[in-house]
């Protein structure tokens, strides 16, 4: 397989560092750039040079696990399923908590390359501030692996803890051995040029229990100047229909050139996803499939969508980092999660290039202040990457970096999710929301308007 220019350059630098008796390499490559193929080439070269016996990979989700296995088996022409005779295997970070001492003995008795996909899921440079996954790396891998290779498209954490195995500069910003940003990837035609559509309304009236009706001239002003919550907008029938109509119109346009072009809807909860899927089918006559962590075989659902020409897939936390569906070209972002990391990872799902005639990528979301800010700084590869090295005590370190990583589903490990001032890790059982928080009455009586942020024009 012919490597991309950046992949060849990165492989060369990895091998040079390893040849200089340095064991760890950290690669920042923008989502959808092809990090897995680069890592497979590193493994291939180390095998050819007789420097390793086995390769072990760790990654966030089962879906990503399957993609890595396919790539390594194709690139190395060897079995990579962890069985007898295989070159190695790939495991989720969750499995770090259940691997036996016999498994870890492999690193003590053989020369092993350990690859960490989306390493930012693992926190801690010492046991006192490590999360459950980071602690296992510090205990069982750091002193025993022959080489380690860390990969990330977003190498920072929303809780600002240090990434395990990361090196930090004096200003507490992470230092990567190799960086390949989205701007470079678009210029090289490795990734599609993103177009982010911010949807707003120019007249919103909000009436709360405490105050008379107020009129706002943007969603950002309404969110900041009243009790109107972002969640109310993304779950409102009218606004859902509007954003879907815009995404459908764009996808229909793209499918005139690319008949199998697909669209992704990122929902907030299973109930939200069901409503969106029904709306797509009944109101817009769109072919649709839905996937969530409650499905018995979510990877099979995603793989089936990948190979077919169904128009839309509605996801609850299942299609973000590392999920490879190149035919996706449109995304409607209706998630309650408003962290920059998740935002960028979802955007990356529509940026993978393929052989289709039209390589446009369109990302639709509402003009909430954080989402507007993220859109305007996509051009910065490492925003807000300073870390907190000292917390008040070890107990605080454990709360922030310990159990959260293993309790959230689908590889979202950075922090407990919150909105409206309430901590919430299970939005699917939120039927009593109105008892806890009475949303104000509001009306969107103005005209919808859209601002298109077209990044990295080529």
If you count DSSP H runs as helices and E runs as strands, how many of each does the chain have, helices first? 16, 20
Check which CATH number belongs to the domain holding 82 and give it. Answer: 3.40.50.300
SS3 196: strand
Q: What is the pLDDT of residue 398?
A: 27
Tell me, yes or no, whether 196 and 180 share the same domain: no
Tell me, yes or no, whether 225 and 370 share the same domain: yes
SS3 297: coil
Number of domains in the chain: 2
Q: Is residue 451 part of a domain?
A: no
Cβ atoms of 35 and 117 within 8 Å: the answer is yes
Q: What is the pLDDT of residue 135?
A: 96
Q: What is the pLDDT of residue 458?
A: 56
Q: Is residue 454 part of a domain?
A: no
Task: Single out the residue in 126, 153, 186 at which a domain terminates.
Answer: 186
pTM of the model: 0.83
Q: What is the pLDDT of residue 156?
A: 85
Residue ranges in the chain whose pLDDT is less than 50: 390-437
Task: Single out the residue in 143, 164, 186 at which a domain terminates.
Answer: 186
Query: Which residue range(s) make up the domain with 241?
Result: 192-391
Tell me, yes or no, whether 180 and 269 share the same domain: no
Please provide residue 14's backbone torsions phi and psi, each rounded to the nearest 5 degrees: -60, -50
Tell me, yes or no, whether 63 and 157 share the same domain: yes
Which helix (DSSP H) or strand (DSSP E) does residue 444 occupy?
strand 441-444
Tell me, yes or no, whether 340 and 369 share the same domain: yes
Residues 6+ apart with CB under 8 A from 242: 199, 448
Pull the structure tokens for residue 126.
Answer: 């010492």
Q: Is residue 398 part of a domain?
A: no
Q: What is the pLDDT of residue 382?
A: 66
Q: What is the pLDDT of residue 402?
A: 33
Task: Single out the residue in 138, 171, 186 at which a domain terminates.
Answer: 186
Cβ atoms of 113 and 147 within 8 Å: the answer is yes
Cβ neighbours, 10 Å, residue 294: 10
Q: How far apart are CA 415 and CA 333, in angstroms?
A: 20
Cβ atoms of 298 and 250 within 8 Å: the answer is no
């Amino acid at each position: 397989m012919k490597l991309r220019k950046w992949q060849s350059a990165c492989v060369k630098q990895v091998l040079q560092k390893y040849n200089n008796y340095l064991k760890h390499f950290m690669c920042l490559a923008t989502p959808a750039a092809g990090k897995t193929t680069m890592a497979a080439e590193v493994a291939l070269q180390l095998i050819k040079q007789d420097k390793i016996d086995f390769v072990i990979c760790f990654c966030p989700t089962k879906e990503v696990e399957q993609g890595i296995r396919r790539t390594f088996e194709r690139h190395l022409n060897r079995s990579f399923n962890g069985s007898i005779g295989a070159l190695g295997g790939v495991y989720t970070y969750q499995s770090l908590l259940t691997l036996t001492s016999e498994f870890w003995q492999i690193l003590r008795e053989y020369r092993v390359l350990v690859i960490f996909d989306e390493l930012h899921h693992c926190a801690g440079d010492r046991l006192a501030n490590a999360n459950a996954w980071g602690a296992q790396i510090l205990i069982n891998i750091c002193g025993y692996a022959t080489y380690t290779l860390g990969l990330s498209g977003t190498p920072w954490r929303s809780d600002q803890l240090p990434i395990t195995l990361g090196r930090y500069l004096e200003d507490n910003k992470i230092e990567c051995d190799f960086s390949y940003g989205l701007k470079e990837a678009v210029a090289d035609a490795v990734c599609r040029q993103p177009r982010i559509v911010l949807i707003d309304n120019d007249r919103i009236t909000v009436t709360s229990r405490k105050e008379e009706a107020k009129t706002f001239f943007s969603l950002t002003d309404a969110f900041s100047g009243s009790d109107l919550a972002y969640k109310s907008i993304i779950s409102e029938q009218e606004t859902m229909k509007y954003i879907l109509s815009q995404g459908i119109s764009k996808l229909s346009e793209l499918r005139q050139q690319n008949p199998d072009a697909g669209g992704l809807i990122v929902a907030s909860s299973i109930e939200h996803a069901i409503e969106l899927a029904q709306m797509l089918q009944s109101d817009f006559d769109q072919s649709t499939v839905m996937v969530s962590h409650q499905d018995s075989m979510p990877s099979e659902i995603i793989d089936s969508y990948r190979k077919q020409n169904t128009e839309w897939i509605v996801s609850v936390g299942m299609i973000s980092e590392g999920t490879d569906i190149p035919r996706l070209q449109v995304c409607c972002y209706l998630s309650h999660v408003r962290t920059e990391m998740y935002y960028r990872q979802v955007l990356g799902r529509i940026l993978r290039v393929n052989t289709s005639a039209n390589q446009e990528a369109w990302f639709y979301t509402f003009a909430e202040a954080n989402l507007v800010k993220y859109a305007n700084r996509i051009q910065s590869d490492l925003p807000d990457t300073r870390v907190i090295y000292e917390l008040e005590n070890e107990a605080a370190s454990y709360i922030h970096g310990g159990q959260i990583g293993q309790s959230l589903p689908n590889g979202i490990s950075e922090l407990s999710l919150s909105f409206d001032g309430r901590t919430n890790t299970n939005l699917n059982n939120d039927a009593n929301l109105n008892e806890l928080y009475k949303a104000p009455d509001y009306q969107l009586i103005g005209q919808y308007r859209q601002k298109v942020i077209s990044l990295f024009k080529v």
